[in-house]
Structure 1
């Protein structure tokens, strides 16, 4: 049985978050957690917390089952663009440049490999 976790309005551009999402897609949960823990990219911290939340949601749905014996993996992960905060930055000769501070929404789904074979 799969479990879902969502992260909304994370103040990182979607492009930067997609680099990490592509890295952990399809991995076993333990390997994905280690990959995110030791990644040097700054979006790896909220993505690691989101993965831990998805694992906790899976534990709540499947009472009595162990994570290690269930062989959990990252079934689906995708990143959508969130709202953009528009700010103005001073420019030469009295002009102004628009700065778009982007955000994103991340959805992650974990599932056990045993459910596929059964």
Structure 2
């Protein structure tokens, strides 16, 4: 039984979040949590929280079984682009430069290793 957790509209670029997603993809849950909690990138904090949420969802789905006993792994993790806020920044000679403030959606699926 797999469990899903989603993070929607997190205000950072999708490319930056994909770097962390690539690190934890296919890893055991305990190892992935340890890596994310000590990773220097600021995106690691919400990703660790999302992983804890997916573990909790899995436990609720499986009548309170322990996640450590089931050998949970990060089965799938992918990052999609979210909404883009368009802002204008003043530029020389009366012009304006467009600034795109990107966001992303992260979907994380955990499953027991068989």
> What is the TM-score when the length of structure 2 is the normalising length?
0.98
Provide the rounded CA distance (Å) in 1 between the counterparts of 2:51 and 2:82.
19
Provide the rounded CA distance (Å) in 2 between the counterparts of 1:64 and 1:52.
14
Aligned to 2:39, the other structure's residue is in SS state: coil
Q: CA deviation at 1:26?
A: 0.2
In the other structure, the counterpart of 1:95 is: 95
Aligned to 1:46, the other structure's residue is in SS state: helix
In the other structure, the counterpart of 2:82 is: 82
- RMSD value, Cα: 0.7
Question: Structure 2, unaligned stretches of length 5 or more?
Answer: none
> Structure 1 or 2: larger strand share?
2
May I ask how many residue pairs the two structures share in their alignment? Answer: 114
Provide the rounded CA distance (Å) in 2 between the counterparts of 1:74 and 1:25.
6
> What is the TM-score when the length of structure 1 is the normalising length?
0.95
Question: Structure 1, unaligned stretches of length 5 or more?
Answer: none
In the other structure, the counterpart of 1:59 is: 59
In the other structure, the counterpart of 2:35 is: 35
> Structure 1 or 2: larger helix share?
1
| 1:52-90 Cα shifts (integer Å, max 9, x gaps) | 000000000011421111000000000000010000001
1:109 matched to 2:114? The reply is no
Aligned to 1:102, the other structure's residue is in SS state: strand
Aligned to 1:68, the other structure's residue is in SS state: coil
Aligned to 1:84, the other structure's residue is in SS state: strand
